[in-house]
Amino acid sequence: MIETVYLSPGELMPQATDDEPWLIVEASDDGQFFGSGWGRKPSGEGVFYASLPEDDVSLEAALNAATKWAGGRGVMRIWVQATPG
């Protein structure tokens, strides 16, 4: 199961090590939510995540897409900044 951790306004996601998968969903001033991250394919190859415009329209859509992506890439925790910084 992938843990979702909500950050306080202005709080930053903790620094990940170079080989630690990570993913964050961040609110923007225009009411959208952008996801980015890094993980590993089952083959071991590193791969980056950048959310798609259709997934940026709400926090729910952004988290659904991020969770789906994270599931097969070793990401154990999704950090969420629900307040624009």
Nearest to 1 by CA among 57, 85, 83, 70: 70
Please state the pTM of the whole predicted model.
0.93
pLDDT in tens, 22-34: 999 999 999 999 9
Q: How confident is the model at residue 18 (pLDDT cuts 50, 70, 90)?
A: confident
Contact in structure between 35 and 55 (CB atoms under 8 Å): yes
